[in-house]
Structure 1
Amino acid sequence: MTGNASLGRLVEQFLTWHFDRNPGNAAMLGSLAHDHTLGDFSATAFTDYERGADAWLDRFTVIETDDLQGSVDRDLVVAVLRGTRAKATWPTWRRDPSLYTGAVLYPLFSAFLNRLRPEPELVATVVKRLAEVPEVLAACRANLDPELASPKIVRRAADQARTGRAFLTVTLPAEVSDPALRAEVAEAAEPAARAFDELAAFLDEFADRAAGDWRMGEELYSTLLRDQEVLGYGAAELHERGKVAYAELDAEMRELAGSDDWHAVMASFQDDHPPTPEAMRAEYEAETRRARAFLVEHGLVTFAEGEECRVVPSPTFQRPVLSVASYMSPPPLTDQRTGHFFVPFPPDGFTAEQTAQRLRTNSRAQLATIAVHEAYPGHHWHLSWLAAQDRPVRKVFRTPYFSEGWALYAEKLLREHGYFTAEVVGDAAKARAQELAHVESRLFRAARMIVDTALHCGDMSVAEAEEFMTTKASLTPGTAAGEVNRYCAWPTQAPSYLTGALEIERIRSEHTGSQREFHDTIAGSGALPLGLARRVVLGR
């Protein structure tokens, strides 16, 4: 099969096939045709998808085109499908219960967050999906394999499952303004909540007999870097790149701090933090507004029409499994351009000391660079701008090696333009603290490159990883534990930040146009594997 038109039709057919088998994700992207069901989570459905993906890969690898953008679309699909093939040897659906809990919680949460339908229609779709929750969680119990599942990953998911009842029976109904419709959601939520209760109890018991290893291993890790991320190198080289980057950033930290013990300097900044979670949210909001105004003043990017970034508390079900700020993009298959910057509120039940640790890890010195990363010109600017472009397959398939790399690149970009200087900040001591925190955030990502590869290649224990993140970066012990749990559950993601930023910086060094043109082009091209992003920007 050849020809640009044939490739376009094949991409459309593939997206239809993919959406029909992943309706929850499709709904979150904005497909109203898929917002009435959570989908099939049976073992048969997973194995059928893997076989189908193999067949699609065979079709895409033989199609030809002389169009640059079309060839990038094709090669993006090929990279995704090669990743699917590789990960079939490490089936998450047999290992990690959070695949199932997340497949329930995130689509229901985003339904009310984005409100793509009038409330009566929205409630009707939510009620249909709530009715499917017991079946989805029953599939979780049936599919988990005690020989593959790790007790650490199971217990992490059990903590999230315990948030299900409150989210379904309290948070969801509270989103509905009409009393009758609110009662309808509350009634539908109760059986779903019982299913979460039952799953949490099951996982507590299952964790005691789970005997699997969370370590992915170097072979698969390297395969994903090469075939899915199109990086051209594997885990060993990624680890070494992390060590080199860490050494360079450590030297820079020593110089900026005026001391070899820059950790003590950073620790002193943690004493100056917002006093409450709500105060933390308000201060993040102020920093988000400041970053956007700076972009406008310096003309560094073009904004999507109607874009808005709302700074809100993290959803309750996310708090036990994610201890840092995060972002949810506008549904890119719609004309909506409102994104959400989630501030890392502590989970319900946290002690005063645990809450204080969470606040210390969001010190005032750190707020500026985190807001740049999550909002402007980081995730929100990028993903709202991407949503305004016209390559559907690139809105659907996005790699963190670009999206997280872009957000870290954005931090350095603003530093280059003086964002952390005393002249802009207005206070020399505050500016010094913010610049140190900015460089430390980049060093933190270098530490992630080292730790994630070492963990999954069997060269570092969990305890060693936690110690590394508290002594080589500036995390509090509680946040370090949450971070390392995340690395164990989500191999290859943690190194994406600095790896991607370095690749984007190299592409920019080869680009001959203005910075604004570069930013608009590369960010508008998608969140592509970096080898494909290079082709779009440089035209080759």
Structure 2
Amino acid sequence: MRRSIQLGALGFFIVTSPLAHAAATQDESACECAAKPAQSPADTAFRKLYTDEWSWRQQQVSGDEDSGDAAIRPDLPDVSPEAQAKRLARWQSVEKSLDAIDRSALSPANRTNYDVYRQQISVLIGQQQFKDYQRPLNSDTSFWGNLASTARQSFTTETDYRNYLSQLNQMPRYFDQQIANMRAGLARGFTPPKITLQGRDDTVRSVIDVKTPQDSVFYKPFATMPANIPDATKAELRAEAVEAITRSVIPAHQKLLTFLTKDYIPNAQASIAAYDLPDGKAYYQSKIREFTTLDMTPAQIHQIGLDEVAEIRSQMLQTMKDAKFDGTLPQFLHFLRTGLQFYAKTPEELLKDAAWISKEFDGIASKWIGHLPRSRFAIEPVPADIAPYYTSGRGGPGIYLVNTYDLASRPLYSLPALTLHESAPGHAFQMPLAAENKDLPAFRQNTYISAYGEGWALYCEWLGQEMGMYKTPYDRFGMLSYQMWRAARLVVDTGIHSMGWSREQAQRYLHDNTALADQEIKTEVDRYIAWPGQALSYYIGEMTIRNDRARAEKALGPKFNIRAFHDAVLETGSVPLPVLTARIDKFIADGGKGPYPDEER
């Protein structure tokens, strides 16, 4: 999965899957890279509406997370109830303005933009109405952890440092607002389940338990500073950092730690089901729409999951035979979990293998995708303070994080699939392509719809078979186990949140059907428990892309070009699944012609 871009400060995801509003028709999915026709009054009104709102939206997001803007901003957000009410009112006003625009009068490109934008606004409204900002954490991300991630960004100017110092000094105010929101959520039973919060206070305690301010993660940007900053200024900034960490950062974390350990975690909800939250059935249904962009019931998704698990299981059995293993599937899974040959001996070995796989794809990238991103990515270990609660890997613009904690839970046979998903051609590839596509409006360049992004990344795992990335039956079994993992999520997520499944039942289901290590199973199930619906986006998205491709192959026959198809998928930016399907309808209608002129090479 991608690097987390949860905007816990605001209670919404700038990079999330919007609710489906309406499927686009075939001629509506043309991207803005086509020749631009004269703008109608409706186009002009729509452009002004989304431009003004997007500019305002960026001011609501600062300091604690990624917002599509690489600059270090000077302020942490205002997350008070008053500010949240103003956001809700603004987005409701935008929705009314969208209602007043005649969609049929828009250009084809803007009809697609309208569909994408309207769904973003719908999700933002829903998140505010359900007061997601009162739960600014889940099983592996939190508002305080997001702040720590800022310290790992690249600082290049004196302004970056001064803005960052401003953020550090605003932590007491910001933490007080977050704690007040969490208290309000606690009072109405709207918290993450207690079981998923165990140990989360450790990440707060690690900020407090430092010998000197210079040992703090928040001092990291000051340890090595750009040469273009004068030495005297460096000394001044470093002294201010020590002061800010001492007087603002540590006291804010101390207050948060007291709240978490004495009030929040002990009194968090005992139930793990979203149905048991306030207005829980409606809340979970809103999350299904948010993360799948489709109107589906929990029962429908559960059945799809059961059917897909059965199909993938048959493929796993065949791959087990290909590996010449004489035994049952449970015995094979035990063999994979315990065989020392399948695990790295050192963190460096795991990181180097991940790097090798990513470079191996580099060698064949142009055979499968015509338009490649300019952006590159680093491969780094997950930071030690969050690694025990973090997933196996996470990728995004400029980064592929590999979890080197508990190496016995990080099998090498799963690493090719993980790398294709998180690095290239997955998240660290697809997200930069959207950001670099200047023909898209900013709200499409810098947002992330989970059903599309996770669907593409999971499709990349499956595509690895055709690309020759799985060298052994074990590698292919690792890919199938990951496919099974995502299909099983459909069963587990709906089971937990709508059908009364226990945590142990969910863990057992993954244990019996995948080759995941038990540590990873525990981490993953807790993630699904604390983040209702998000796990549904992966397989639903992949199924859509594979179904769209099968339709295109059948309709186009020998005219089908895989590079052109992938370019058509990727040039849209992150879009709801009905919009993506409409784009492939147009791809078929255009005779398989993709968006770039050199795809036939």
TM-score normalised by the shorter chain: which range applies?
0.7 to 0.9
Aligned to 2:301: 238
Q: Secondary structure at the match of 2:306?
A: helix
Aligned to 1:349: none
**Superposed displacement of residue 384, structure 1:** 1.8
**Superposed displacement of residue 502, structure 1:** 0.5
Separation of aligned partners in 2, 1:156 and 1:41: 25
Q: Secondary structure at the match of 1:231?
A: coil
1:7 is matched with which residue: 32, 46, 63? 46
- Per-residue CA deviations over 1:477-505 (Å, capped at 9, x if unaligned) read 22211111111111111121111100011
Separation of aligned partners in 1, 2:109 and 2:433: 18
Q: How many residues align?
A: 506
Equivalent position amino acid for 1:161 in 2: V
- Conserved 8 A contact 1:155-1:204: no
Unaligned 5+ segments in structure 2 are 1-39, 226-233, 276-280, 590-601
Higher relative contact order (CA 8 A, sep 6+): 2
Aligned to 2:244: 188
Tell me if 1:216 matches 2:282: no
Aligned to 2:162: 124
Equivalent position amino acid for 1:138 in 2: D
Equivalent position amino acid for 1:225 in 2: I
Aligned to 1:264: 331
Aligned to 1:143: 181
Q: Secondary structure at the match of 2:377?
A: strand
> Normalized per residue, which structure has more helix?
1
Separation of aligned partners in 2, 1:269 and 1:301: 37
1:322 is matched with which residue: 355, 366, 390? 390
Identity %: 19
Aligned 1:451-462 pairs, distance under 5 A: 451-462=492-503
Q: Secondary structure at the match of 2:363?
A: helix
Aligned 1:20-99 pairs, distance under 5 A: 20-24=59-63, 28-30=67-69, 32=71, 35-63=73-101, 64=103, 65-97=105-137
Aligned to 1:344: 403
Q: Secondary structure at the match of 1:342?
A: strand
Tell me if 1:482 matches 2:520: no
**Superposed displacement of residue 89, structure 1:** 4.7
**Superposed displacement of residue 316, structure 1:** 3.8
1:442 is matched with which residue: 471, 483, 500? 483
Equivalent position amino acid for 2:195 in 1: K
Tell me if 1:469 matches 2:473: no
Aligned to 1:371: 419
Distance 1:211 1:103, change over 3 A: closer
Separation of aligned partners in 2, 1:449 and 1:100: 20
1:173 is matched with which residue: 207, 219, 222? 219
- Aligned CA-pair RMSD: 2.6
- Per-residue CA deviations over 1:60-89 (Å, capped at 9, x if unaligned) read 233224323212222222212222333345
Separation of aligned partners in 2, 1:52 and 1:124: 31
Unaligned 5+ segments in structure 1 are 330-338, 347-354, 426-430
Separation of aligned partners in 1, 2:50 and 2:582: 19
Separation of aligned partners in 2, 1:407 and 1:285: 17
- Conserved 8 A contact 1:216-1:491: yes
Separation of aligned partners in 1, 2:125 and 2:388: 31
Aligned to 2:15: none
TM-score by length of 1: 0.86
Separation of aligned partners in 2, 1:110 and 1:13: 27
**Superposed displacement of residue 340, structure 1:** 0.4
**Superposed displacement of residue 7, structure 1:** 1.2
2:540 is matched with which residue: 495, 499, 523? 499
Aligned to 1:19: 58
- Per-residue CA deviations over 1:257-278 (Å, capped at 9, x if unaligned) read 1267334324323432111223
- Conserved 8 A contact 2:54-2:443: yes
Separation of aligned partners in 2, 1:524 and 1:345: 34
- Conserved 8 A contact 1:98-1:160: no
Equivalent position amino acid for 1:294 in 2: I
Equivalent position amino acid for 2:331 in 1: A
CA radius of gyration, larger in: 2
- Per-residue CA deviations over 1:69-126 (Å, capped at 9, x if unaligned) read 21222222221222233334532222344599844443552464244x42x2221111
Distance 1:209 1:440, change over 3 A: closer
Aligned to 1:398: 448
Aligned to 2:567: 520
2:316 is matched with which residue: 230, 235, 253? 253
1:161 is matched with which residue: 173, 186, 204? 204
Q: Secondary structure at the match of 2:387?
A: coil
